[in-house]
Amino acid sequence: MKSKRRDLALDLWPVSRVVSLVLSFGIVGNGFHKRLVHMLTRKLKRTKMHTREEKLEAFGRFLDVLDTLREKCPWDKKQTNQSLRTNTIEEVFELSDALMKDDTLNICKELGDVFLHICFYAKIGEEKSAFDIADVCNKLADKLIFRHPHVYHPSQVGASSPKPLPYGEDDKPSDMQNADTAQKVIENWEQIKLKEKDGNKRVLSGVPDALPTLIKAYRIQDKARNVGFDWEDRGDVWKKVREEMSELEEELRKGDKEKSKKELGDFLFSVINAARLYKINPDDALELTNQKFIRRFNYIEDHSIKLGKPLTEMTLDEMDKLWDEAKSNE
């Protein structure tokens, strides 16, 4: 049994982790090396997935466990929407971290933690006789059907077994039924949201106030673009970036902190806009730089420990040299 569990865990390892293990041992020809190569080969093969029946059974099992914990566990019994909120945010960030690292094992684990919170909120809603997990699933399914007119006819909203097009197709399909590119789907999505009974009344009202500011700026610009408010030539954005940078430098020279703060915001907003126009996610890009800085700084710190010389006693030239070494080793 233990062997099966270990093999399952190894199957979930990212390929990159297996490769790094092989390289770190640097052993060729022995049994352990062959074992790692075998694991890598298995990893590249398609893993057998569960059937629909097995998935539904697992979901039911999980709901049974959640119901029991809510009834019998002192901690679970006292949780509210408010008490869980900060934990939910933490779990989402942990999932995001696993996704950035392409860490399959932890993606699976963290998805479970986020899923627990989703179902927990639904359980609380059920206790208040407001809604339950079935309402959550059905409302989501109906929203997806309604927002995908190129896949489903609107008549399938609320259907117990929705059928895709051409079932229910009108004699004269709407333009939204002819979405043949991802960009067209996104544009339709925003238009449809404005038409929904309980949907967004304004284009930018769908951007949550609590979003991290960098992602929020990106989403604001993206939603404006979806209704045609955008640069005709993306190359023109660099003029705006340089303009905002010049205004920031001017206020910094004057020493006006409040105006400098506003101009810095304008400059950052313009850079995020440029990233969007060139289809680069600025949040992902910044996180890659964060991780790069951490790796290089850790390299400096590791060498300071080996030398027995605290970082505070190292000169800037010494640290710069180690930084360049770390950079050259990447």
Summarize pLDDT for 258-286 with one digit per residue, the tens: 999 999 999 999 999 999 999 999 999 99
Each domain of the chain, given as residue ranges in start order, spans 2-44, 54-131, 135-196, 213-280, 284-328
What is the percent of the chain with per-residue pLDDT over 70, rounded to a whole number? 79
Fold observed for domain 54-131: Helix Hairpins (1.10.287)
SS (H, E, C) 28-76: CCCHHHHHHHHHHHHHHCCCCCCCHHHHHHHHHHHHHHHHHHHHHCHHH
The residue-averaged pLDDT of 194-198 equals 64
121-134 confidence digits (pLDDT tens)? 999 999 999 999 99
Instruction: Provide DSSP, 71-94.
Output: HH-HHHHT--HHHHHHHHHHHHHH
Q: Is domain 213-280 given the CATH code 1.10.287.1080 in the classification? A: yes
Residue 181: band (very low, low, confident or very high) from pLDDT cuts 50, 70, 90: confident
The residue-averaged pLDDT of 137-148 equals 92
State the Cα–Cα distance between residues 243 and 247, nearest whole angstrom.
6
User: Helices (DSSP H) in the chain: which residue ranges?
Assistant: 2-11, 15-25, 31-44, 52-72, 74-77, 81-100, 104-127, 133-146, 182-195, 213-226, 237-254, 257-277, 282-307, 316-328
Q: Exposure of 69 by Cβ count < 10 A (0-12 exposed, 13-18 middle, 19+ buried)? A: middle
Q: Do domains 54-131 and 213-280 have the same CATH topology?
A: yes
